[in-house]
A and B are shown apart, each in its own frame.
Chain A
Amino acid sequence: MLGRVGDARGDEEPTAVSADGDASETVPAIVRLDERYVAVQRAIGGIVTAIAALNVAIAAVVLLVVERVPLWVAALVGGGGGTVVLLIAWFSWSWPEVERRHTSYHASELGIEIRRGVFWRKRILVPRARVQHSDVSQGPIQRRFGLATLHLYTAGTEHSEVEVPGLSHGTALVLRDRLAASDADDAV
């Protein structure tokens, strides 16, 4: 068994390694998703839930007023839709925390190993020598919470782009520099 990849037990002790350059953050060798990631995902989930709820409400109202369906039909639709909305809401609230527990990034001399997945668990190992170039991106909600996503580009086909979300902006920048600062003759 691989064990819960998010667990600290069984993994090596996270050794804090000073960042290169003049970044003020200390980035440990094993990076968990930032706590704010959960907040970001919940915020996004909230928006989705609101949209879904709005759709259900509009559907019920349209049915009632425009199509003049009997009240019980509209109530059924509203009830059914409402249940779905509640499910979405509950899912959006509880899933990010589960995801967070099962995601971790292991940076080393070799490169970076991305562990993620709750049911289908994956470990994606990207050697530093194979990172072609990298990006740090921030959506509007991420920006508000100070988070960012690191994109690593390789020459692979299945994983020509690997996304590392849920990092604080500073950590993302440090990781990017660290992975890009390969030896001089690792030129491609």
Chain B
Amino acid sequence: MRSERRLHPLSFLFTVGSSVFGFLLPLFAAWLAARSTGVDVVFGLWLVPFGLWAMFRYITYRYEFGEKDLRIRTGFVFRRERRIPYARIHNVATVRNVFHRLFGVAEVVLETAGGEETEAKLQVLSLEAVEELKTFLDRARDSSDAETAGPEAPTEARPADGEILRLRPRDLVLLGLLENRGLIVVGAILGLLWELDWWGLDEVSFERLFAEGVGAAGEVVGPTLDLPLLVVLALAIFLVLVRLFSVAWSLLTLWGFRLERRGALIGTEAGLLKRVATAVPIHRVQVVTVRQGPLFGLFGRVEIRVEVAGGGGGEESDENAARPVRLVPLAPEGAVPRLLSGIFPGAKVEGASWTPVHPRARRRILTESLFVLLAIAIFPTTGAVVSGHRVVAAMLLFLSIVLVGVAALNAARQSRAFLYAEEEDLFRFRSGWLWRRTSLVRGSKIQNVTLTESPFDRRHGMASIRVDTAGAGPAGHPLEIPYLPAESAVRLLERLGEHASRTRFRW
């Protein structure tokens, strides 16, 4: 029985509330800094018409479950009906902050292939309505998947449903310490505090304080090192603040993190004040990347992200870009095979035999680094030498020598870090020695393959291969292998093409 549904009566409040909140922070900051009272009047003037509009919107908003699509109707004078095919909805997210939980409602966000802009935001629905929507979408998606799957119904083994990962507060603290979130925010807050003259700090008193600080530091380490010491101390304090913020942020946004598998969906749920739950159909995952930065590596932890795309949007195929989803914010290295098999059903994820790139890659990387180094260093150094600043010139020369050493180290490590592996239907690629990234992609998700031979490649008998997938956003890990021996590259090109041809691509 298809009938029209309305949003929850409190939607009006939430619409206004969320807009106000968006306004609030900059408004507050502006009010603090400017100390003018005109702001609140303007705010009040804006609030009334906006409130009326929000009320009106609630009254006219209706949605309905069509046979193949979700239909949303809004407006009275200017009517608009939007139809979203179920097959296009690739992510259903629910957001519940403190107020939502207070009133027993939730905001539902439906994402489609576009990725950046949501197709539909239902603000807000009662919890029963949310369940109804989810069940309906699941059922509709399963039936449309069954249609397109046809005789080739998924024969791969489906691992059991259930929880894949859960993060405890302890893990979240570690994550906060390892990450660097809040660099900008802490800087902005400090800047704001400076503007607001808190702690009674104005220019004069700050100069006095600074002079005192330099004097005190000078007493400890002597006159030449007093300024550097202060700088180091300031940096240290800044870093501590950033880390504290990062820990707080991690706890706030990832509290109670759960990653679980529900049939054909992979869902995450997290958040302390604002609880966000998202669900992604597994077959819409295009590429999985396991990342490990140097700090993460120090503690033997990794992060796993996936690139998701899809929805059957045939007409607007430029909307293929999507942003990567962080499925696993933090996990021990040893847990990777188990986690991957949860995300990548039926794939053999352990024991890969890795193939390295051309042995002369190291020399090439070094040469290219040296060129860059030379280009950067030559002007300052000759400038210093010519103008007679011998100390500076000597320092620059010393720095250059150090950098050459670093370049040599990097060339050695990086050339060994480019690896690839092929196994049945799974293609893997590794890159980076400090920031390690391993990506996995199935043949069915390979869209096209490009082999590129630059003039430098030609000189050395090398070539590079790049695998193109759907939804490969700029923030993802490009599936590119440089410095391959030319013949291996050609053969790899053909094999990847065969893998892709032998499989069907399904959004």
Contacts and interface: CB of A to CB of B under 8 A. Distances in A.
Nearest to B480: A158
A186 B503 CA distance: 9
Contacts of B150: 185
A132 interface: yes
B461 to A, nearest CB: 6
B501 A128 contact: yes
Given A127-B501, A162-B448, A153 B493 contact: no
A1 interface: yes
B461 A1 contact: yes
A173 interface: no
Interface stretch (B126-134, B314-322, B325-333, B336-344): B314-322
A129 B472 contact: no
Nearest to A158: B468
Interface in B45-61: none
B500 A127 contact: yes
A21 interface: no
Interface residues of B, number: 45
A161 B309 CA distance: 17
A117 B473 CA distance: 26
A153 B505 contact: no
B497 A125 contact: yes
Interface string A154-185: 11111111100000000000000000000001
B314 A160 contact: no
Contact of B505 (A111, A126, A129, A133): A129
Contacts of B497: 110-111, 113, 125, 127
Interface residues of A, number: 35
A26 B463 CA distance: 34
Interface string A30-65: 000000000000000000000000000000000000
A185 B504 CA distance: 8
A158 to B, nearest CB: 5
A129 B446 CA distance: 10
A125 B501 CA distance: 11
Q: Which of A122, A132, A133, A158 has the most CB of B within 10 A?
A: A158
Contacts of A185: 150-152, 504
A158 B372 CA distance: 27
Contacts of A101: none
Interface in B415-471: 446-455, 458, 461, 463, 466, 468-471
A187 interface: yes
Contact of B314 (A120, A132, A157): A132
B255 interface: no
Contact of A160 (B320, B452, B503): B320
Interface string A64-103: 0000000000000000000000000000000000000000
A2 B317 contact: no
Contact of A133 (B151, B314, B472, B506): B314
B448 A124 contact: yes
Given A1-B461, A122-B450, A153-B317, A188 B455 contact: no
A107 to B, nearest CB: 13
Q: Which of A117, A155, A188 has the most CB of B within 10 A?
A: A155
Contacts of B468: 154, 156-159
B466 A158 contact: yes
A96 B506 CA distance: 40
Given A156-B469, A185-B152, A126 B448 contact: yes
B97 to A, nearest CB: 34
Contacts of B493: 123, 125
Interface in B290-337: 309, 312, 314, 317-318, 320-321
Q: Which of B452, B468, B486 has the most CB of A within 10 A?
A: B468
B447 A154 contact: yes
Nearest to B149: A185
Contact of A155 (B148, B152, B320): B320
B95 to A, nearest CB: 28
A143 interface: no
B498 A110 contact: yes
A160 B486 CA distance: 26
12 contacts: A2-B453, A111-B501, A121-B453, A126-B448, A130-B505, A154-B447, A156-B472, A157-B469, A160-B318, A185-B152, A188-B314, A188-B504
Interface of B: 148, 150-152, 309, 312, 314, 317-318, 320-321, 446-455, 458, 461, 463, 466, 468-473, 486, 490, 493-494, 496-498, 500-501, 503-507
Which 9 pairs from chain A and chain B are nearest by CB? A156-B447, A156-B468, A157-B472, A127-B501, A155-B470, A123-B451, A127-B500, A125-B497, A121-B453
Given A158-B466, A187-B148, 15 more contacts: A1-B486, A2-B486, A110-B498, A120-B455, A122-B451, A125-B494, A127-B446, A127-B500, A129-B505, A155-B470, A156-B470, A159-B450, A185-B150, A188-B506, A188-B507
